């Protein structure tokens, strides 16, 4: 984990705030009938007009400005020309580079009417992220975060994705440490004061093993649930402070 200076934190906060505002902006367009390619274009235009860069674009060959993960897509879904429809859920994941620093945040949106079980999954994913963030303490570890997330998710009757998770972030999109959605208190990597990480649990309805797929000409893979059941996720970028934490991507 890279420790930031006061000036780094000022610049990083600007990047994170722009990511949050971008997600708020695109949120207005997330409804039945819109294609995920249209959402991608909206984020591209908004980011460029704010003297910033969409981090996913050309990152390890990834061809779009955002990830849009619909229904059984767990993460890294590629925007396309399929319109969203009533009953879908979609995670929109925005990462913005400004002043050389990254801000990474995502939300899962509900399109129209969904069964109460789906609403419960999405609500639990948001709360799981919050529980993980609240477990951050100076001198704590990534295992504290994972433990808090998995304890909550298990209690709700859902399953965390173990293969993918949060990460250190800063001048690079993905830095050490890996921030798991499971673990033991006090285990894993030490959280350093003035370090920045993402907390981004992915929740599945079932424990069926996930499936990995290639994105053409890219090192990035996308992931689907093993049985076409739903998956939901929320993400914030968080600063570890001398007294606890600060969520940098709160709008
Ligand atoms: N934003 C994703 C994350 O939370 C990473 C996307 S990588 C991409 O870590 F290449 F697919 F954009
Ligand atoms: Co992330
Ligand atoms: Co992200």
Domain range list for the chain: 6-247
The Cα–Cα gap between 244 and 223 comes to: 33
- DSSP secondary structure letter of residue 141: B
Query: Which residues partner with 69 through β-bridges?
Result: 91
pLDDT of residue 239: 98
For residue 173, the ligand 1 atom closest to its alpha carbon is 9
pLDDT of residue 72: 99
**Up-side HSE of residue 61: CA atoms within 13 Å toward CB?**
8
Instruction: Give the Å distances, CA to CA, from 222 to 10, 69, 188, 215.
Output: 33, 9, 25, 7
pLDDT of residue 19: 99
Is the Cβ atom of 101 under 6 angstroms away from ligand 1?
no
pLDDT of residue 28: 98
- Going from the Cα of 227 to the center of ligand 2, the distance in angstroms, rounded, reads 25
Q: What is the pLDDT of residues 12-47, one digit of tens each?
A: 999 999 999 999 999 999 999 999 999 999 999 999
pLDDT of residue 125: 99
* Segments of the chain with pLDDT less than 50: none
Q: Do the Cβ atoms of 57 and 64 come closer than 8 Å?
A: yes
Residues lining ligand 2 (ion), CB within 5 A? 104, 198
pLDDT of residue 195: 98
6-247 CATH = 3.90.230.10
pLDDT of residue 17: 99
> How many C-beta atoms surround the C-beta of residue 179 within 10 A?
27
pLDDT of residue 154: 98
Identify the residue whose C-alpha is closest to ligand 1 atom 10. 56
- Going from the Cα of 117 to the center of ligand 1, the distance in angstroms, rounded, reads 27
The Cα–Cα gap between 127 and 132 comes to: 9
Identify the residue whose C-alpha is closest to ligand 1 atom 11. 76
The Cα–Cα gap between 69 and 36 comes to: 9
Give every CB contact of residue 110 below 8 A, 6+ residues apart in sequence. 89, 118, 119, 122
């Amino acid at each position: 984990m890279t420790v930031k200076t006061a000036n780094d934190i000022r610049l990083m906060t600007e990047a994170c705030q722009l990511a949050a505002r971008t997600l708020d902006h695109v949120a207005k367009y997330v409804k039945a009938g819109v294609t995920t390619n249209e959402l991608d274009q909206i984020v591209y235009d908004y980011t460029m007009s704010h003297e910033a860069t969409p981090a996913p674009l050309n990152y390890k060959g990834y061809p779009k400005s955002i990830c849009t993960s619909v229904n059984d897509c767990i993460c890294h879904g590629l925007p396309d020309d399929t319109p969203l429809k009533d009953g879908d859920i979609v995670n929109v994941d925005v990462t913005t580079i400004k002043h050389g620093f990254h801000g990474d945040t995502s939300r899962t949106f509900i399109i129209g009417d969904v069964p109460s079980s789906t609403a419960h999954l999405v609500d639990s994913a948001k709360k799981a992220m919050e529980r993980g963030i609240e477990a951050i303490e100076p001198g704590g570890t990534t295992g504290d975060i994972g433990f808090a997330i998995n304890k909550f998710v298990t209690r709700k009757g859902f399953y965390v994705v173990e293969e993918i998770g949060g990460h250190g972030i800063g001048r690079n999109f993905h830095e050490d440490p890996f921030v798991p959605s499971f673990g033991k208190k006090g285990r894993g990597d030490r959280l350093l004061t003035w370090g920045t990480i993402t907390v981004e649990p992915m929740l599945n309805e079932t424990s069926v093993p996930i499936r990995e797929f290639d994105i053409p000409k890219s090192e990035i893979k996308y992931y689907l649930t093993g049985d076409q059941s739903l998956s939901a996720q929320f993400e914030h970028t968080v600063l570890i402070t001398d007294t606890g934490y600060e969520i940098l991507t709160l709008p």
